[in-house]
A and B are shown apart, each in its own frame.
Chain A
Amino acid sequence: MRVETRESAGVTELPLVIELTILVLAAFLGFEVVSKVPTMLHTPLMSGANFIHGIVVVGAILVLGTAADTFTKVAGFAAMVLATANVVGGWFVTDRMLAMFKRRPEPKQKGPAE
């Protein structure tokens, strides 16, 4: 839809079958990769996955960037706010968690306690 705008914006329409093929392959790849994540890291996995679905921000930018009427602008603006919060928050919180996983206790713990 609005093919002209989007194509000028560097988006090519793909045949449905190709898109479905990509989808199915991504599903198998996702299962494969995620099944290797240990239980210990399942919470960071969830928030990391949260961050990844923030990619919907790309859709929000396209909608808001090509919006011509008020309805689209409002919807696009709201989508942009939500998606950005998703991306930024998801990434930061994942980073915060992963920074805490350590193999050994902090060295300072050894010193003072006898």
Chain B
Amino acid sequence: MISDPDVVGLLYLVTIVCFIVALRFLSSPRHARKGNWVGGAGMLVAIGTTLLLEGLGNWALIAVAGVIGTAVGVVGARNVRMTAMPQMVAIFNGVGGGAAALVAQAEWHNAVGPVWDETVSIVLSALIGSISFAGSVVAFAKLQELVSGRPIVFPAQNVVNVLVLVGAGGLGAAAVAGVEEQWVLVALVGLALLFGVMFVLPIGGADMPVVISLLNAFTGLAASATGFVLDSTVLIVSGMLVGAAGTLLTLLMAKAMNRSVANVLFGAFGQVQTVAGGVRADDGRSVRATTPDDVAVQLSFARKVIVVPGYGMAVAQAQHDVRQLADVLEERGVDVKYAIHPVAGRMPGHMNVLLAEANVPYTQLSEMDEVNPEFPQTDVALVIGANDVTNPAARSDPASPIYGMPILDVDKSASIVVLKRSMNPGFAGIDNELYLDPKTTMLFGDAKESVLKLISAVKAS
């Protein structure tokens, strides 16, 4: 049993330091894993310290809940595919937010004449935690394709959302003003859950990286608010660290798409799209299809090839074969690089994880700003399952919903080969001008099969 508050405080301080070191070590892939272990150790110190506090009971309940949670966590983390990482992160955000909201409920239930600042903390913890929980569940459902990834909109949506949020805020104000009834907080949580659902529903699948980052920040802030309720510095600091991380990533993602966060959240992507022109097939240009053998010749005699991987590659589970193709080409003296757009995949840095899984050394991956000047000297740009991040309309067509988004300048290379399942538009639901470029040829079919054919054709040539 630990009863000295100073000892408790020092042990929690150890946890805080561990978490900061964990984030610090993430600045390089070489130390990152070690950092995660340090963070894990910090968490064990915090949990151990808390369990040893005097005056705790209900050990059976604590043990059962811990076992269930651990089982769920381990099974989920072990089995998730790297392509489904965004969903996984979304759901872990959700459970964290849900836990914060439940702690707030319990504290409100047991509060005896709470001081105003305690009530404010409880209200914030319940509000933000619930929004994060409901929003994350909807984000999960969208990414898992349980509901349509397209924006779901209804008339006066933003007005209704504001009303719901104002209602929740009103209940919060009532609680602070002294209405100490349980129903106040229950109703508040209900409205916050409703808001969370309605807030994420109209956001399109392509904007999910922004939403997940934002919800990450929300859960962090909810944990921080819980820290104020419980007078726990470790919760305040850890929650805020996550809040800062999530906020920073949200801003970075929005910047990578050249849109404001407000536009992503309240713009309902789909509405612009009806105005935007599609691929104007009637202007005489058409798509040119090609064969694996032709592409193999093109690739074998190239000096420099840049591979532009997209989510489509990951869905087809073709990343391992793509790496093999790159290996075969490199043996023939071709210079191969990977160009990674900041929003490639469905969350920040997702593509890097997918390629790391396929054993592509991270030293071969180039970020957008670094690789864009190289496209004019590139013989073949091999676009595999990437779409919107290569769309020149982002540079040239002000009517396009992605206008202004920084893209990979694949159209500046000498030739472009696009591996694509069909002519369906990308995740953002817009057509791609690139496919009509006279320099572009299309290799239709499943990305994995196409790449396998390319490997054998290159080996044979």
Contacts and interface: CB of A to CB of B under 8 A. Distances in A.
A57 B73 CA distance: 13
A63 B2 CA distance: 18
Contact of A93 (B7, B77, B357): B77
Given A39-B367, A57-B47, A82-B99, A10 B4 contact: yes
Contact of B103 (A23, A79, A91, A100): A79
Contacts of B442: none
Interface residues of B, number: 129
A34 B244 contact: yes
Contacts of A57: 43, 46-47, 99
Contacts of A93: 76-77, 80, 85, 88, 92
Given A43-B350, A59-B103, A87-B73, A81 B223 contact: no
Interface of B is mostly: helix
B28 to A, nearest CB: 8
A72 B58 CA distance: 11
Interface stretch (B138-146, B301-309, B341-349): B341-349
A96 B33 CA distance: 9
B308 to A, nearest CB: 16
Interface in B345-369: 347-350, 352-353, 356-357, 359-363, 365, 367
Contact of A11 (B28, B99, B213, B231): B231
Contacts of B89: 43, 46-47, 50
Contacts of A52: 19, 22-23, 39, 220, 238, 241-242
Given A35-B248, A56-B235, A62-B230, A10 B39 contact: no
Nearest to A4: B55
Contacts, number: 432
Interface in A18-70: 19, 22-23, 26-31, 33-69
A89 B415 CA distance: 44
A82 B109 contact: no
Interface centre among B9, B72, B223, B252 (most CB of A within 10 A): B223
B102 A40 contact: no
Given A43-B347, A58-B47, A53 B54 contact: no
Contacts of A81: 65, 68-69, 72
A30 B103 contact: no
Which of A14, A63, A82 has most chain B Cβ within 10 Å?
A82
Contacts of B68: 81, 84-85
A106 B357 CA distance: 12
A10 B352 contact: no
Contacts of A104: 361, 363
Contacts of B289: none
A53 B96 contact: yes
Interface of A: 1-2, 5-14, 16, 19, 22-23, 26-31, 33-69, 71-73, 75-106, 109, 113-114
